[in-house]
Amino acid sequence: MTGQPLLCHGKPLRLGECIGRGGEGVVHMLADDSERAVKLYLKPDADGEAKIKAIVGANLGTSCPNVAFPLELVQYAGGAFAGFTMQRVTGHEPIHELISTGSRRRYFPQADWRFLVRVALNVARIVATVHAAGVIIGDINSAGFLVSQQALVTLIDADSFQVGDHHCRVGMAEYTPPELQGMHFGSVQRTVDHDAFGLAVILFQILALGRHPFTGIARGRPVPIESAIQQGRFAYSQIRNTGTEAPEAALKLHDLPQGVQLLFERAFALRMEPRPTAAEWVKEMATLEAKLTPCPARPHHFVASLATPCAWCRIEENTGRAIFQDGIPTKPRRVVPARTELHHDVARATGYARTYAGETIEPSWPAPAITPSKAARKLATEREASNAPHEIFKILALSDTRTAPFIDEYEAANRSAVKLLEGWRNDIGVWKVLNGVSALNDSLAAFDRTRSHMPSLIAQGGPHITTLQAMGIMRAKSIVDARIAGIGDGVRTLLAQHGIFNAAQLDRTRLAAVPGLGETRMVALLFWRAGIAAEAERESAHSRDHETNHEGAARDRVGQHLGQLERMVREQIDKLYEQVAAVQRRSLVIDRSVQAALMKRDQAGTDLAYLGIDRTAGIEPATLRAGSISPKKKVKPKASASKGKPSCLKCGSPMVKRWARAAANARIWGCTRYPVCTGTRPYAKKRKRRRKVALTRPVRLSGVSAAPIFSRALPALPRSRGYRAGRW
């Protein structure tokens, strides 16, 4: 076919190399013109010839410079129709190479979301230009748009467009509106509204990095795109209940401005009104591009507003992969501010609390002098009568079976004393003090987080204030005064009975609780609300001195919040000192049962010491009673003791529940011989089945005058000689 002579305006054409091939024909360079190319049809027909003549006659190639419209008719030497010449496109890649993360790194390594938004804007501009020329594209798809490294867009395959009565005979189901699904395209008269659906799909794919708006999960299974389009299952809709869930690691509709959200909802909704035109998309894409701002955490991420968390940070953390070229799929390093006087006050208060009201505190009562018991003195006298050498006295003490009752008595007395001490500490408020220490550290951590994130909070404050202003505008829009299709006086009265009076109070959750409202009316109300929200956002964003006023207001708000957190920490410091003082006062009150248990323990310990038995040797009582003469022999301790309490893995002694020093709100098992033995074991609390109850934890940040800081440290109460940690 290409061997036949070709003519253009009666002049011969010399073909260059083949640069493209498709189902309809092949594309060649022109040997004598590097700016143009020629497309030759494999099976030229009369309808195709008539369409090309209509396009060339309308001079569309001049009125739409970024569209590869046919420029001249090409014929064979005998006069038969062969094809056409067109503008040659170089330095461009198909748009699907841009919107896919893998291929974008190869073909567009420097592209970020700003680049994608600019491409989306240029796509909308080209479609608007074509529609303004009276042409319908028909087959809008990702293969028809080419993108340069400067975000310039060119539309190709223009010979398939619908021009006048010459229909577009092709189309892709993924970009075809529901009313045309399954139809024979050659007999369908396309409209601007049909193009609007395909345009919205490709714009969504550009912004959402290749995600199709109708790709989702329904009842745990993926829905074919063609079926989802026919059923109107827009997976990202916030207005309609489509029964389809969008992928988790994807851009959400609420990550975009209100105006863009509304256009997508209109484009993919059931046919309530015409779909957004290309001119409307140009306006909203230009607004979105002007709003783009760097993410405070990762500057290579660009977002539409700082009032909401960065969508790209969320997606990268969920997937563990970087989206853009400079992306780092790890959390940014947090800068820790310098310590202040508040930090030193907290350290002094917590140290004081752990020293004078911590978990090792023992009673401060006077302890009577304890002497060896009569039985211990008798056993010692019998040993002296045996004339044993001094150097084997300790071995005799260990191997003598008569010492077993003394060892057993001490072990029993020690267990009883530890148990009673735990209860006594709880009664006098030691655990409340430790909980207060934990709460104080948490509040200080919140104070530090606010200080370290102050720049980003101030940057987010402006958009947040804009959002609040927009909500104020929406509250002023009464449902009573609105004209909404299908919403009459009866529905307005029903909404008022459920506390819904204005646009700000409309959301799907509240409307679902109104009986008899129905899905159609609910969608109509939410569409009205979305339109009001978009207009309110634009109105508040264009207020006079917007940036300066809002940044100053945001700085004031963050400073006030930081001051409230500092006052809260000061109040908790004062309260902690008061709790320590209360514990000290209660520790002076004698508890007879605890006193008796401690005296019994000390008596048993004195007897062991008098008999030369070292309780810190780490030998099991059973081994001693067996007559072993090797006190340094290690015996593997039992994994658990009686009544579910474990034994120490270091010395085999019983263990009790204690609070971990590193985290005051964590429990551990600790050795009863602490501080001589520091063995610990993790404490696994048994889970109890309980009825689920929704709980809320209010946080008080309102400004209440803070209590004055202590001008002097609370003095330690005098401690007379008594029962202290480590005293036997």
645: pLDDT strictly greater than 70 = no
Beta strands in 112-216 (DSSP E): 145-148, 153-155
Q: Which of 137-146, 188-197, 375-384, 671-680 has the lowest mean pLDDT?
A: 671-680
Read off the pLDDT of each residue in 362-391 and give the average, rounded to a whole number: 77
Q: Against a cut of 0.75, is the pTM above it?
A: no
The residue among 120, 380, 163 whose CA lies nearest residue 257 is: 120
Active site residues: 139
For 415, the enclosing helix (H) or strand (E) is helix 404-428
State the DSSP code for 380. H
What pLDDT, on the 0 to 100 scale, is given for residue 516?
86
Q: Residue holding tokens 């009562």?
A: 365
Tokens of 99: 């919107």
Read off the pLDDT of each residue in 159-164 and give the average, rounded to a whole number: 92
* Structure-model confidence comparison of residues 447 and 263, the more confident one: 263
Q: Residue 109's CB: how many other CB atoms inside 10 A?
A: 11
User: DSSP string of 245-312?
Assistant: BPPSSS--GGGS-HHHHHHHHHHHS-SSSPPPPHHHHHHHHHHHHHH-EE-SS-TT-EES-TTS--HH
Sign of CA dihedral 631, 637, 640, 645: positive
Read off the pLDDT of each residue in 683-693 and give the average, rounded to a whole number: 56
394: pLDDT strictly greater than 60 = no
504: pLDDT strictly greater than 80 = yes
Q: Residue 62's CB: how many other CB atoms inside 10 A?
A: 9
For residues 385 and 376, what is the distance between their CA atoms, to the nearest angstrom? Answer: 14
303: pLDDT strictly greater than 60 = yes
Count how many Cα atoms sit within 13 Å of the Cα of residue 145 in the half-sphere of its side chain.
29
Strands 25-30 and 33-41: antiparallel
Q: Is 354 helix (H, G, I), strand (E, B) or coil?
A: helix
617: pLDDT strictly greater than 60 = no
Read off the pLDDT of each residue in 608-622 and give the average, rounded to a whole number: 61
Look up residue 203 and give its amino acid: L
Q: Residue holding tokens 């000689």?
A: 721
Sign of CA dihedral 333, 339, 344, 346: negative
For residues 337 and 347, what is the distance between their CA atoms, to the nearest angstrom? Answer: 16
The residue among 264, 204, 200 whose CA lies nearest residue 530 is: 264
**Which backbone phi and psi does 448 adopt, to 5 degrees?**
-65, -40
* Structure-model confidence comparison of residues 36 and 646, the more confident one: 36
For residues 587 and 584, what is the distance between their CA atoms, to the nearest angstrom? Answer: 5
Q: Residue holding tokens 């783009």?
A: 292
The residue among 337, 321, 402, 400 whose CA lies nearest residue 101 is: 321
What pLDDT, on the 0 to 100 scale, is given for residue 716?
45
